[in-house]
Amino acid sequence: MNDPTPPLPPSAPRPPLRRRGIYLLPNLFTTGAMFAGFYAIIAAIAGYFTDAAIAVFIAALLDGMDGRVARLTNTQSEFGVQYDSLSDLVSFGLAPALVLYTWSLQYLRDYGVLWGKLGWAAAFLYAACAALRLARFNTQVGVADKRYFQGLASPAAAGLCMSFVWTMREAQIEGAWLCFFTPILAAVAGLLMVSRVRYFSFKAWPRSDRVPFVWIILAVLIIVALVLDTATVLLIIIGLYVLSGPVMTLWGLRNRSSRRRLRARRRQSAPKE
């Protein structure tokens, strides 16, 4: 069958070809986040662990802004999604793992070869779990409930580890003294990322432009506390958020079990025909 569309005459102007490109503004924020994560790695190698921890928090701030900027300017793209995941792997996967290793985990080798292997294995476990978490998140985009995360988000896991390092540095506690605790921290943070524990997502909050007045007072108190002792307050806030996931999951399982028992009792007490 012939094509019903007549060909354009040679003299007719042809439509311009659409060039493929990327959106500049949101990807600049993503690049800035990846730069902050890369700087954290360099700072940790040089021994500036406080600077490294702060750099990871700056990466988390920029990472939270790129998605919002893309939505506000209607510049979302598949390229931006994939680029953001690669940036997150550097900033919240590799950078925290290397900071933990150079600050504390490397000193396990002073206790023997096996302990030394445990140190770098714990760092690798964290980095691998972060990669798996990001891959699983990408496959669930558009399907999962936006109100909740399945597993601890990689920025929150990185924040937990880096706030701990920052707090210990402010308290002048050396990483070598905590080399037996740091593997537990890395393993717990990593395994929570790939777990099925649900965490509240702040992407769907606030639901309207208006919030209760008490939220303003709470925000002011948090800002004042951060000014007084930034590292400790961040560790407390992130630690409470990390604990909220298992508590919320266990509460949901308890309620589900109660509903099952209630339905079973109703079936048993129902009159038989």
Going residue by residue through the chain, which has 273 residues, state the pLDDT in tens, using 9 for 90 and above: 455 555 555 555 555 544 555 677 888 999 999 999 999 999 999 999 999 999 999 999 999 888 778 777 877 788 888 899 999 999 999 999 999 999 999 999 999 999 999 999 999 999 999 999 999 988 876 666 677 888 999 999 999 999 999 999 999 999 999 999 999 999 999 999 999 998 988 765 656 567 788 888 988 999 999 999 999 999 999 999 999 999 988 887 777 766 777 676 777 776 655
Q: Identify the three-state secondary structure at position 173.
A: coil
C-alpha 267/C-alpha 265 separation (Å) is 5
Contact partners, residue 88, CB within 8 Å, separation at least 6: 33, 63, 130, 134, 154, 155
Q: Which domains does the chain have, with CATH numbers?
A: 24-204+211-269 (1.20.120.1760)
Residues in the chain: 273
Number of C-alpha atoms within 13 angstroms, CB side, residue 92?
33
CB 201 within 8 A of CB 147: yes
> Which pTM does this prediction carry?
0.84
